[in-house]
Structure 1
Amino acid sequence: MHPQDFEAPVIRQLREDLALALRAAAHHGLAEGVCNHFSVELPDGSGRFLLNPRGLLWQEIGADDIVMVDGHGEKLAGRHAVEPTAMFIHAAVHRIAGKACVLHTHMPYATALTLTADRALDTTLSQNAMRFHDRVAIDDAYNGLALDTSEGERIARAMAGRDVAFLGNHGVIVCGDRIAHAYDDLYYLERACLHQVLAQSTGRPLAPVAAELAHKVGQQAQGERLQSELFFEALRRLL
């Protein structure tokens, strides 16, 4: 890759957007140390993608900190190192699940639900939860740290075409075609999980809606993506 490619306007914008999503996640309490990764595939079909680097807190990441890697995890551009383990999940999800933007976190409330027997959010409870109805996959076969290609591929296949995956005893993956849409989903997924955990903590019986209504609300939310973009631009002004 020619070094100038990294500064091409379309790639520069993706770098800025990815850095913004990472800072927003830190702002919203979704980060965990210097762990976890956000990635976005380049739109040229090359299999290359952008990724946050090793060892930086999400709150300090700017566009110039983002690195570019190929589908095998080889760094192509950027001033920082790449964490090898990042590649095992992200490269597989990009390649096998065909997802352009992949956000992987251990955010507190969503992760808490992966520790329960149900493993995931109940998408018939809150309005926020209903936006994910028919979109959630559950991978309940926790197999330790993702330290090899086969584990990342197993996780990618377990997603079964869904764009949200709850990884048992681990965390979550949220995917999307655009960074703004994926981040909006990540934020509201954690809010929905927070509401469910709070409701369960009361000890009172929960009151789900019919699956048909949850499906309708989910379709309505998918049709309101302008709201996702407005939210992301508001975060750009704030952060």
Structure 2
Amino acid sequence: MNHMENINPIEWEARCELAALYRLIAFYKMTDLIDTHISYRLPHEPNHFLINRYGIPFDKMTASHLIKIDHEGTIVENYDQGKRVNVAGFVIHSAIHHACPEVHCVIHTHTADGVAVSAQSHGLLPLSQHALKFYNRIGYHTYEGIALSLDEQKRLIEDLGQHRCMILRNHGLLSTGNSIPRAFHEIYFLERACQIQVKALSSTQLNYPSPEVCEHTAQQFDREEAEQIILDAWHAALSLIEQQKAEYCV
């Protein structure tokens, strides 16, 4: 761990888990060169969170690349001095972390299919089982330009509301979770739903489940067994990059 050898073990574990998440986002081709971002609130320091060092490709992210910042975006550790944070990432993530103490992980993506759906006036349609997970359970935020203004934070929070996920109009997707596995689960399903929708809209004859079935399915996604399923899915995803652990947990 070189310069980070004396780091708190809880923080180091969090860094390794978040680095793995960055690499999984790359594995599933949800990256946008060096843009987009993922943040994670440190379990033992709730006013500090980790975010990527700007300029590092997600498939090369390591635990030591991650930067510890506070809610103002200020770097709080000497070992992170001189590193850069994406300002737009700070504006979006800090707003959510500050307003929602139950949210520990935030993922933001700019995938082609996610942005395509964000540009469609009807938003996410109930066309697939993946999409029904978000039936009446997703927020929408109107595009205001590159997220550099702190004034936008209030509107971001209002538009997210009580939802775990949000579509940023003409911009991309956002998911949140009380854990890294939960946030990953949300963005995975939302991305798949968008991919399916873009393909389905090539047809002029679409089949829509009834509103009753849509609501029933959404409730099924929140059943008691869901948390264990989410955890199992996370470990299954981690197994796909297990050969990289020696590279990212450094």
Same fold by TM (over 0.5)?
yes
Contact 1:96 1:157 in 2 (8 A): no
How far is 1:26 from its partner? 0.7
Match of 1:216, as an amino acid?
H
- 1:83 equivalenced with 2:86 (yes/no): yes
Q: Deviations over 1:75-112 (max 9, x none)?
A: 12354322222211110011124422111111221210
Tell whether 2:102 aligns with 1:96. Answer: no
Alignment counterpart, residue 116 of structure 2, candidates 107, 112, 115: 112
Distance 1:45 1:11 in 2: 9
2:94 counterpart letter in structure 1: A
RMSD: 2.0
Amino acid paired to 1:227: I
> Gapped runs of 5+ residues in structure 2?
242-250
Distance 1:147-1:6 versus aligned 2 partners, 3 A rule:
farther
3-state SS of 2:195 partner: helix
Equivalent position of 1:69 in the other structure: 69
Which residue of structure 2 aligns with residue 238 of structure 1?
Answer: 240
- Runs of 5+ consecutive residues of structure 1 not aligned to the other structure: none
Q: Relative to structure 2, which stretch is displaced further, 37-46 or 145-154? A: 37-46
Query: Which amino acid in 1 is paired with 2:156?
Result: I
Residue number in structure 1 paired with 2:245: none
Structure-2 change in CA distance of 1:185 and 1:46 (3 Å): closer
**Letter of the structure 2 residue corresponding to residue 138 of structure 1:** Y
1:34-88 Cα distance to aligned partner (Å, 9 max, x none): 0011011123464211111111000000112111100110112354322222211
* 1:143 matched residue in structure 2: 144
2:151 partner SS? helix
2:57 match: 57
Counterpart amino acid of 2:145?
G
Partner of 1:178: 179
CA distance in 2, matches of 1:6, 1:105: 33
Q: CA deviation at 1:6?
A: 7.9
Tell me the equivalent position of 1:28: 28
1:128 aligns with 2:130: yes
| 1:16/1:62 contact within 8 Å kept | yes
Does the CA-based 8 Å contact 1:48-1:71 persist in structure 2? yes
Aligned-partner Cα distance in 1 for 2:196–2:63 = 33
1:153-207 deviation per Cα after TM superposition (whole angstroms, max 9, x unaligned): 32122212211111111111101111111101111111111111111112x2211
SS in 1 for 2:176: strand
Partner of 1:225, secondary structure, is helix
For the Cα contact (< 8 Å) 1:164–1:173, is it kept in 2?
Answer: yes
* Cα deviation, residue 11, structure 1: 1.8
Contact 1:110 1:121 in 2 (8 A): no
Q: 1:134 to 1:97 in 2, by over 3 A?
A: farther
Calculate percent identity across the aligned residue pairs.
27
Given that residues 23 and 58 in structure 1 are in contact (C-alpha distance below 8 angstroms), is that contact kept between their aligned partners in structure 2? yes
The one-letter amino acid of 1:177's match is: N
The alpha-carbon distance between structure 1 residues 81 and 33, as it changes in their structure 2 partners (threshold 3 A), is same
* SS at 2:47 equivalent: coil
Does the CA-based 8 Å contact 1:6-1:12 persist in structure 2?
no
Residues 1:227 and 2:216 are matched in the alignment: no
Counterpart Cα distance in 2 of 1:12 and 1:45 = 13
